[in-house]
Copies of this chain bind each other. A is one copy, B any other.
Amino acid sequence: MSGIGFEILARDGMARAGRLLTAHGAIATPAFMPVGTAATVKAMTPDGVAATGAQIVLANTYHLMLRPGAERIAALGGLHCFMNWPGAILTDSGGFQVMSLAALRKLGEDGVEFRSHLDGSRHLLTPERSVAIQHLLGADITMAFDECTPFPAAREAVEASMALTLRWAERSRAAFDERPGHGIFGIVQGGVHDDLRRHAAERLVAIGFDGYAIGGLAIGEGQATTFAMVEASVPFLPTDRPRYLMGVGKPADIVGAVRRGIDMFDCVLPTRSGRTGQAFTREGTLNLRNARHADDRTPLDRLCRCPACSGFSRAYLHHLTKAREILASMLLTAHNLTYYADLMVDLRAAIAAGRLADFRLAGEAA
């Protein structure tokens, strides 16, 4: 098999349940990808990540190229071996983080020159270099190098940025080395403008990618606009290729996007929240720092199968959170990733049963 296989097993409205076939196994979709920024999903062992139900993780090109370095990881056997993660890996292109984290950025037609936020060292990231780094890492899914358009921005700026992203997409595609089970996704930009989103989608499809991401969203535009941009993009993407909404999101964002035809998600929310005492549960979101949990013998979520819920009380998790113990981050991250993984299981089951219209999160209006 060349490229990434994608089988659709069930449909319900715009939503699809399927399987993504990669060099590191099949991934049931819709899928949530835990974020493993620096070659580790924070506060989790790889075994622990797999136990949540995750089959694919995301790693960050920008962070890894700076530390420990892409060539070093390649010499050490690639990212799967380095981080001891046998499942699939999607790497981002570095475009988003170079613009949000790096110092002294200089954006040009060729790419972005910048200085490392860690040590001030000078680097150049181009479409070709981004794809080469992702190859060195051994990513199952490579992302085309893009410019994540800021929000808000004038239409002219958005248009110019989108046009640059499309030229970079063409260069990224050309630089990608085809291998069985490995693929490259293009990224639809276009800000909050329906027509730019459509144009970007059509141009990317003309280039031809293994999958299509919708980027530059969930950066402050609000859920209604996010959904509107998904609706402006999806109809112009191939039905037989996976669709990935980047950086999304809260459980309700994911449910809404799945209803609109999205197959893949990533977000730091479950992991980051886990490190700040927040837990997603079937009864809604809990802040474990709240004193009302101090004497509560019940688990976080009675229906959850995770290590936090099967072994510990809310009172204990409150204590760990207040005492800033590492175990609080470990248990709450495991719980939140399990919650997200189980949400995806439930969404896939709802699609297979043709009952996605009836799907409700805790506290969500019917």
Contacts and interface: CB of A to CB of B under 8 A. Distances in A.
Interface of A: 38-40, 42-47, 67-68, 72, 75-77, 82-84, 275, 294-295, 297, 307, 311-313, 315-316, 318-320, 322-323, 325-327, 329-331
Contacts of A329: 326
Most chain B beta carbons < 10 A, residue from A43, A68, A77, A294:
A68
Contact of A40 (B82, B307, B315, B325): B325
24 contacts: A38-B319, A38-B320, A38-B323, A39-B316, A40-B320, A40-B325, A40-B327, A42-B325, A42-B327, A43-B326, A44-B327, A45-B330, A47-B311, A67-B322, A68-B315, A68-B318, A72-B315, A75-B295, A76-B313, A82-B315, A84-B312, A275-B326, A326-B329, A326-B330
A136 to B, nearest CB: 15
Contacts of A330: 43, 45, 326, 330
A282 B337 CA distance: 36
B316 A72 contact: no
B326 A326 contact: yes
A51 B27 CA distance: 31
A126 to B, nearest CB: 25
A76 B323 contact: no
Nearest to A331: B45
Given A76-B315, A82-B313, 8 more contacts: A40-B323, A46-B311, A67-B323, A72-B315, A76-B295, A76-B297, A83-B316, A84-B316
A294 B320 CA distance: 33
A327 B295 contact: no
